[in-house]
Structure 1
């Protein structure tokens, strides 16, 4: 007998520049186990990432579906860019298909900030999610529905530098936390002006380094919150955008 949506157990995977994290969720997005992680392999090519995921989940309980948040532009489960893993490795790789072959489960792959967005928003108005980590991730949702992904991180922001170059990990290491925070303040002003969001959620490891008071409609969220978005990808009432990345196992 097939599982109904309320019975589904979803393996939710978050691929980052420094680590690959995974947990198993119920259909409502509740964690059924603590999420665990392994270091992102080097080189971070598709084969090595698949091996890392298989190693990470080999002793996990049973699951029915797989949701993956990937750090790059993804369309219909096919990776187009992966600036922090190596676009040369990933361009036009059908990662949803690769992973479903490796683990024999239906798989959906979306941008990591998009998946985090599904996990943290309250579903009211225009909500924006950003991640401050190896690079700069963004997602936009309207009334809880995921909007088409925009690679805001690659838009020039200062002296020909894009957001990844301006406020990513490398910039933080080069300029230090004090100057990095000044840059973040500038970025927040730009986002507020350009997107006119109702609420802004801030995730990623470097969000812990913010040293200034946030506006009332801004909130820091955790990776654990974001990984819950893996369940939302399988909810029937979600916007069709979230249903474009499924790969079903071959029989």
Structure 2
């Protein structure tokens, strides 16, 4: 029996949702609302419940969330609010909705929708922050938080490529820094493919040497929704 999955992508600037069939085709229109600020757990949970209540029939929920997620518990979400550290999001939503829910890091979810499942594949999401996920032969290596790692001097990857950096330095310099980051990440991971997603991937225009250009793919931000199906497929459900 085909099940309908309500896929939700929580971001620092917007929250998106769609109902998907098992084959990844849409069973509803795509919805999007601005992320409220301050983005405390109470406020975002309220937004999620309001959004979910406007959707049609569905059987289960998959959520991509901008933090490390361990067994449905969020571990920090620096682009939302400090109160997310240790918040039992899956349990709270389960109690209010009565539907099965699975939650994972948003870059992990986007990666599940993007990868080919061969070799070392790195996924980077460029948006409010800098998300990342890493796969080996299709298997997720969880809780990779490159965004908070030092890239150069005292600046992290997120300091160089997050929305605040883009606003400050402009698209041209941002792309120069992105090219430097990709070259650095290649030395670190020797990836077979790097996928660039997130809302700001539309701005990517990097000048890379030929030995890396064939290893780079820009992917649709909608994969942050479609990848939610993998949270259920991984268990055979």
**Number of residue pairs aligned between Structure 1 and Structure 2:** 233
Report what 1:174 is aligned to: 168
Within-5 A mapping of 1:189-228: 189-213=183-207, 215-228=213-226
Counterpart CA distance in 2 for 1:217 and 1:158 is 23
Report what 1:113 is aligned to: 107
Counterpart CA distance in 2 for 1:94 and 1:229 is 22
1:34 CA displacement:
2.7
Which structure 2 residue ranges, 5 or more long, are not aligned? none
3-state SS, counterpart of residue 233 of structure 2: coil
1:143 CA displacement:
2.1
Counterpart CA distance in 1 for 2:235 and 2:50 is 33
Counterpart CA distance in 2 for 1:117 and 1:208 is 17
Q: Does structure 2 conserve the Cα–Cα contact (< 8 Å) formed by 1:28 and 1:232?
A: no
Within-5 A mapping of 1:50-69: 50-69=45-64
1:213 CA displacement:
4.7
Q: Does structure 1 conserve the Cα–Cα contact (< 8 Å) formed by 2:60 and 2:99?
A: yes
Which structure has more relative contact order (CA 8 Å, sep 6+)? It is 1
3-state SS, counterpart of residue 193 of structure 1: helix
1:237 CA displacement:
5.6
1:225 CA displacement:
2.4
**Alignment partner of 1:157 out of 137, 151, 156:** 151
Q: Does structure 1 conserve the Cα–Cα contact (< 8 Å) formed by 2:8 and 2:62?
A: yes
Q: Does structure 2 conserve the Cα–Cα contact (< 8 Å) formed by 1:12 and 1:25?
A: yes
Q: Does structure 1 conserve the Cα–Cα contact (< 8 Å) formed by 2:108 and 2:142?
A: no
Farther-moved stretch of structure 1 (15-24 vs 44-53)? 44-53
Counterpart CA distance in 2 for 1:230 and 1:50 is 19
Counterpart CA distance in 2 for 1:145 and 1:102 is 32
Report what 1:97 is aligned to: 91
Q: Report the TM-score, using the length of structure 1 for normalisation.
A: 0.88
Query: Is residue 2:13 matched to residue 1:18?
Result: yes
RMSD between aligned alpha carbons? 1.6
Counterpart CA distance in 1 for 2:216 and 2:205 is 14
Counterpart CA distance in 2 for 1:54 and 1:76 is 20
3-state SS, counterpart of residue 21 of structure 1: strand
Report what 1:124 is aligned to: 118
Counterpart CA distance in 1 for 2:133 and 2:206 is 23
Counterpart CA distance in 1 for 2:83 and 2:22 is 33
**Alignment partner of 2:35 out of 20, 26, 40:** 40
3-state SS, counterpart of residue 97 of structure 1: helix
3-state SS, counterpart of residue 69 of structure 1: strand
Q: Report the TM-score, using the length of structure 2 for normalisation.
A: 0.93
**Alignment partner of 1:82 out of 73, 77, 80:** 77
- Deviations along 1:204-240, one digit per CA (max 9) or x if unpaired, are 11111122356112111112123111111111467xx
Query: Is residue 2:180 matched to residue 1:183?
Result: no
